[in-house]
Structure 1
Amino acid sequence: MDETKTTCDYCNCDVCDKVRSDLEKIFRVLDIYGWLLDSYIVDFFLEDLWNKLPGEWQNTLDVVSPQELGKWILGEACERVWPLSLMALREVIRSLVINRNHNEGEAIKCKKRSSEGKSFNSLEELDSVNSNLYVNDSKFNNLFIKHVKTKKRYEIEKMSQILGDCALKANCKCVVDIGAGMGHLARVLAFKYGFSVTCVEQDPLLTAQAKKCDEQFLTSLRKYNPNCNGKLQHVSMTVNVNDSGEEVVNYLTKSFESEQTLITKRKELGLVGLHPCGDLATTLLRLYSNCAEAKFICIVGCCYMKLTRSGDKFALKGYPMSQYVSTLDNNEISFNALEVSCHAMEKHCDKLKEERFSDLIVHTYRAALEYMLVQKSSKLRRIQVNSVKVKNGMCFEQYCKAAVANLEPHKQPEDFYYTQPKIIQFLSEWNRVLVFGSLRLMLAPLVETCVLLDRFLFLSEKKLGPSLKAEFDCRVSPRNFVLISSK
């Protein structure tokens, strides 16, 4: 391990030193408490997960109300006396994770990051550089949000500002949106901010739908302003995890030579990814690091559980990416832990505080159903059942029958299973299942922090000066961290 470290040119700035130190501390915490994240809630009763918690935790958490727990996890005032080890764990988590509050703190920045170029501090200031824009014209702005959900509207507005800042600092007006989907962000960038945008989407059906949306948008736009134009084009292609940056850029430039776009004239571009799924995020980072034409990257990751963690020795892993994390002996993160890290801890705690957690009873129902299925046959362990939402007072038996409706009749539990004393006891312990799930969510930000700081160090090791900060409201958009780098 030491030999590997000496061969890598690690950045020795205070920020990168702290990132590496924090990662080592996080992995030590996960060595002790990672079993909570690795556990399956569906196995809660089968594996008696409650009794794996420390005894003093059990005694306190058995009498804590959901409202108290929600407040306590969020760090709000709570008069109850808590076990010292549990309090210490919460404080350690809070000290090590990246701040998820977009209104607080500064970005984590490698000190080698260039600060050259013009920076725009507000959406209005950025708007003012484009003479085509009608910042305060609601009719014009409403053209961009038709058929766009509220969450997406919010993300697009924030991302446009950040991306515009990156592009202007890099003196680059061409943007490639990889994993562009329906092209909602691209239309804002092209027709509102004047960037030349190329959308890359793997699914040809989505590409076709995006082009149709373009046509509808342009029809409305030209009725509003016949002289307002933008440069926007779409291509369907797969950007694989092992693709080099040069191959992708060559494909794009050759495909659009006849269009005379900014790509082919200058061969300089910026990369943007708004919630690219799993390995696509790390693919974009490698594309950026390998490609001289890529002048900046602006990326918001998601779906961490889909990251490649093992497999063919020649395959590039989605995690870990950095040489530093790759050298750590205890750097493994399970699928379960990555999956939990994609949930909204704050929204969960808000539900607890506001007594809106009745839908969470589904976890107790599913764990009790699993116990019954395994009673019937060990071969039914973790068999795929229908996803059923518990609402309108749905009882356990109704839930189970809906969940196993896809199974062959001989695999479904008989009616007598539902009245077993053990099952009735399990159902009365719904609060324990809720508490256990909440503890996992309390730990989850540690996992996301590991993934994001690993990506941060990857860029730092490539001398690409990264910056990382929560830019979205985590209660609106839970995956709210934006990773930025400019060359």
Structure 2
Amino acid sequence: MAATPDPTPHLPQSPEQRRAADIIRLLTLYRPLLDAFVIDFFTEGLWARLPPAWQPALASATPAQLAGLLVGHGGPGAAWPLSLLAFAAAARALAFPRGCPGGSPRPPCQSSRLHPLLRRHVKPKKQHEIQRLGKVGAPPAPCDLPAPPQPPDSPPFPQLLQRLSQATSCERVVDIGAGQGHLSRFLAFGLGLSVTAVESDGRLARLAERFDQELLRELGKPKRLGHERPPRRCPNPAPQPLTPRAPRHVAGRLDPTAPWGDFLLPPDPPGPGPAARNPLGGPGGSEDGGRVLLTGLHACGDLGPALLCHFARSPAVAAVALAGCCYMKLSTAPQPPGCPLGYPLSTSVAALPGHQLSYRAREAACHALEEYEGRLRGGSAHLRAHCYRAVLESLIRAADPGKRHLGLQPGRKAHALDFPQYAHLGLPLAGLDPAGVPLDSGAVGAMLEQQHKVVAFCTLGQLLAPAVETLILLDRLLYLREQGFHCALVPLFNPRFSPRNLVLVAARTPLAVVLAGLDKDSEDGDSSEDGDSREDDDLR
């Protein structure tokens, strides 16, 4: 597929532009697969839409063989058609590398690299993310065993935001979409940075302030002699002491269309809480005329593009580090006049025919590929959830054709039930009486026997999903390159328990020093009991 003509057709395309064009070609070929909702598997005959040459191999494939197809590591006894192998290889090759997951499929219950006071109220996944995003690791503390030898060029666990702070000589951070303030608290108390946390929900901003005050009270208590734990036998460094420097919390929403000096709107809904005072509202772009770093840890939907646009037009912002999420909430064409698009941002991607992404495609980009692979290899009972929901959709549509794609939540443990139990939970949520629905009919049994086909169909969607996410992230990277900024995408988090692990970093100065060695950073080395399992995947 050729790109539309542009004013400078003689200019060569960058590797990123070529990759974006190749992804769009692939997605165009398989758009019916990409845009399909799995819950329509039976109602719309999705299996018959697959290439006929693929159907026998997929129908007979074991979950372990599907896992091999998903990640390209082969599978025991699998014999795939060449066209299916080519499809899978192309999808994997075009997606951004996500790093080597390795290790436990779940984060340790507690991160020993975080100060104990910074772990309070913070889930293990978030502990991993803020530690990786924020800090240079502490120097080794005394342990009974010597620390394991490190390669001579191995950095001391350097992390991203502190490297950005050092490279730009900027100690002010504005954390957009700060939530309960966990990252902001770590940057302020743990690193001693000057942090402003901006959150649209005033209730969360007030809760974050309460957590800050709890931590300040703990820091003000005298040390209780005789009650400290002796150094444990471990290779992990002890966390550095905290500084009594709390972040400042601001309740306000980001206005994506406003100039950089007026980028905050009042919170929604309005209410009591910290005033919406603009941290970029001073004469030099920040309150005291200095420069700031912008960060958003899993900024939802249009918040991510808005952050990048404010960085691009605000001279006060020295650099930005952004991890996105909820791509299905991005604004796409058509939009009312004056409303910015969340996708595409770049002129490069916008000029490519077929660049449009449906809601379903953007939803698929919020994938958890590594977790799904683990479920396939382990033959997890979670795999039946998609089939259950597709059968339930068929029953609902038969009873009331007007009820389609209802957001039903029969429960987190629904996969552990048999289908009649599942249906008795789900049908009332659709306003239907289970007594009037034939749950033990031969047709229901025949659909349940096709669970393996539903799983295979889901696997094909998972194969395409990382390529869709790559296209969205490429669009953001190309937008920044078009503005003349230095930028890169870094697989910063462990994708097994932080699936949105690619962080977009951009600055007004070269990033080579900032990014050098990040791929060698160590993960949290704690080993402990597993935390709570993640919620079931979206069943659409």
Matching residue of 1:228: 243
Q: 1:85 aligns with which of 70, 83, 86?
A: 83
Matching residue of 1:33: 30
Describe the SS at the equivalent of 2:505.
strand
Cα offsets for 1:48-104 (capped at 9, x unmatched): 101111112110011111111112311113232210001001111122111011589
Q: Is the 8 A contact 1:246 1:290 kept in 2?
A: no
Q: 1:462 aligns with which of 474, 479, 483?
A: 483
Shift of 1:437: 0.8
Cα 1:273–1:207 shift into 2, 3 Å? same
Matching residue of 1:447: 468
In the alignment, does 2:6 pair up with 1:5? yes
Matching residue of 2:117: 143
Matching residue of 1:337: 361
Q: Is the 8 A contact 1:362 1:389 kept in 2?
A: no
Cα offsets for 1:221-272 (capped at 9, x unmatched): 2226899332520110010232332212899996679x9xx94323311100
Cα 1:250–1:89 shift into 2, 3 Å? closer
In the alignment, does 2:256 pair up with 1:241? yes
1:35 and 1:189 mapped to 2: Cα distance?
A: 45
**Higher mean C-alpha displacement, 242-251 vs 232-241:** 242-251
Q: Which amino acid aligns with 1:464?
A: F
Q: Is the 8 A contact 1:300 1:479 kept in 2?
A: yes
Shift of 1:29: 0.6
Matching residue of 2:513: none
In the alignment, does 2:423 pair up with 1:397? no
In the alignment, does 2:16 pair up with 1:19? yes
Q: Is the 8 A contact 1:361 1:390 kept in 2?
A: no
What is the count of residue pairs matched by the alignment?
447
1:26 and 1:266 mapped to 2: Cα distance?
A: 43
| Match runs of 1:429-440 below 5 Å | 429-440=450-461
Q: Which amino acid aligns with 1:61?
A: L
Q: Is the 8 A contact 1:26 1:96 kept in 2?
A: yes
Matching residue of 1:133: none
Q: Which amino acid aligns with 1:338?
A: R
2:219 and 2:37 mapped to 1: Cα distance?
A: 50
Unaligned regions of 5+ residues in structure 1, if any? 105-136
2:354 and 2:343 mapped to 1: Cα distance?
A: 13
- TM-score, normalised relative to structure 2: 0.77
1:59 and 1:3 mapped to 2: Cα distance?
A: 39
Describe the SS at the equivalent of 2:391.
helix
Cα 1:5–1:271 shift into 2, 3 Å? farther
Cα 1:264–1:7 shift into 2, 3 Å? farther
In the alignment, does 2:51 pair up with 1:54? yes
Q: Which amino acid aligns with 2:292?
A: L
1:158 and 1:99 mapped to 2: Cα distance?
A: 18
Shift of 1:139: 10
| Match runs of 1:183-262 below 5 Å | 183-223=181-221, 228-230=243-245, 232-248=247-263
1:3 and 1:395 mapped to 2: Cα distance?
A: 53
Matching residue of 2:155: none
Describe the SS at the equivalent of 1:143.
helix
Cα 1:369–1:97 shift into 2, 3 Å? same
Matching residue of 2:61: 64
Cα offsets for 1:103-135 (capped at 9, x unmatched): 89xxxxxxxxxxxxxxxxxxxxxxxxxxxxxxx
Matching residue of 2:180: 182
Matching residue of 1:118: none
Describe the SS at the equivalent of 1:329.
coil
Cα offsets for 1:407-466 (capped at 9, x unmatched): 44xx43544521222111001111111111111011100100000000000000000121
**Higher mean C-alpha displacement, 1-10 vs 308-317:** 1-10
1:302 and 1:139 mapped to 2: Cα distance?
A: 25
Shift of 1:163: 0.6
2:10 and 2:175 mapped to 1: Cα distance?
A: 31
Unaligned regions of 5+ residues in structure 2, if any? 103-110, 135-158, 224-240, 267-274, 509-540
In the alignment, does 2:429 pair up with 1:406? yes
Cα 1:228–1:62 shift into 2, 3 Å? closer
Cα 1:140–1:292 shift into 2, 3 Å? closer
Q: Is the 8 A contact 1:324 1:457 kept in 2?
A: yes
| Match runs of 1:312-331 below 5 Å | 312-331=336-355
Cα offsets for 1:342-375 (capped at 9, x unmatched): 121111011111122x122121111111111221
Q: Which amino acid aligns with 2:433?
A: Q
Q: Is the 8 A contact 1:376 1:413 kept in 2?
A: no
Q: RMSD over aligned Cα, in angstroms? A: 3.0
Q: Which amino acid aligns with 2:402?
A: K
Q: Which amino acid aligns with 1:99?
A: P
Q: Which amino acid aligns with 1:425?
A: A
Q: Is the 8 A contact 1:174 1:263 kept in 2?
A: no
1:319 and 1:91 mapped to 2: Cα distance?
A: 26
2:460 and 2:279 mapped to 1: Cα distance?
A: 51
1:484 and 1:285 mapped to 2: Cα distance?
A: 10
Q: Which amino acid aligns with 2:205?
A: T
Q: 2:319 aligns with which of 293, 296, 302?
A: 296
Cα 1:155–1:227 shift into 2, 3 Å? closer
Q: Is the 8 A contact 2:98 2:491 kept in 1?
A: yes
2:501 and 2:193 mapped to 1: Cα distance?
A: 24
Shift of 1:377: 2.3
Q: Which amino acid aligns with 1:158?
A: R
> Identity across aligned pairs (percent)?
32
Q: Is the 8 A contact 1:102 1:470 kept in 2?
A: no
2:214 and 2:176 mapped to 1: Cα distance?
A: 22
1:139 and 1:468 mapped to 2: Cα distance?
A: 24
Q: Is the 8 A contact 1:180 1:201 kept in 2?
A: yes
In the alignment, does 2:330 pair up with 1:307? yes
Q: Is the 8 A contact 1:102 1:469 kept in 2?
A: no
Shift of 1:157: 0.6
Specify which structure has the higher proportion of helix.
Answer: 1
2:85 and 2:471 mapped to 1: Cα distance?
A: 22
1:190 and 1:294 mapped to 2: Cα distance?
A: 18
Cα 1:144–1:424 shift into 2, 3 Å? same
Matching residue of 2:370: 346
Shift of 1:173: 0.8
- TM-score, normalised relative to structure 1: 0.85
Matching residue of 1:100: 98
Matching residue of 1:361: 384
1:61 and 1:250 mapped to 2: Cα distance?
A: 52
**Higher mean C-alpha displacement, 321-330 vs 208-217:** 321-330
Q: Which amino acid aligns with 1:470?
A: P
1:419 and 1:376 mapped to 2: Cα distance?
A: 15
Cα 1:162–1:333 shift into 2, 3 Å? same
| Match runs of 1:97-136 below 5 Å | 97-101=95-99
Describe the SS at the equivalent of 2:394.
helix
